[in-house]
Amino acid sequence: EAGVTQSPTHLIKTRGQQATLRCSPISGHTSVYWYQQALGLGLQFLLWYDEGEERNRGNFPPRFSGRQFPNYSSELNVNALELEDSALYLCASSLGLAGSETQYFGPGTRLLVL
């Protein structure tokens, strides 16, 4: 069974540009979560999607947005990139169930903003 996949693995952008990150969940999983992990720090919750709807959002500005497609894959968009957006962005999927079950993580996309 294929795990959670993310693309691209690395992304280099300059300040002010937009970044689009993609995630494909494990087959059968309806929930997708996005996290930001700055270098050497813990995970900061960004967004949770389930069945195509945004279920919860972390403490991030509106320039962080996303969506979930009918096939449950998801995109994270970051507009007007700032230097401090440089981080590892992790996607996870689960069976949903009110966000209380085990999450399975992808390998991440490392975003560098110059």
> Which residues of this protein are in contact with other proteins, per CB under 8 A?
4, 33, 35, 41-43, 45, 48, 55-56, 58-59, 88, 90, 92, 98-108, 110
- Nearer to other proteins (CB atom), residue 67 or residue 107: 107
Shortest spacing between CB 90 and other proteins, in angstroms: 6
> Taking the complex as a whole, how short is the minimal distance between the CB of residue 71 and other proteins, in angstroms?
21
Which CB sits closer to other proteins, 33 or 64? 33
For 53-110, the DSSP string reads: EEEEE-S--TTEEEEE-TTS-EEEEE-S--GGG-EEEEEEEE--GGGTS--EE---EE
- Count CB atoms within 10 A of the CB of residue 3: 12
Alpha-carbon distances, residue 34 vs 25, 50, 57, 62, 73 (angstroms): 11, 12, 9, 14, 12
Nearer to other proteins, 16 or 99 (CB): 99
Shortest Cβ 65–other proteins spacing (Å): 16
Least Å from the CB of residue 3 to other proteins: 9
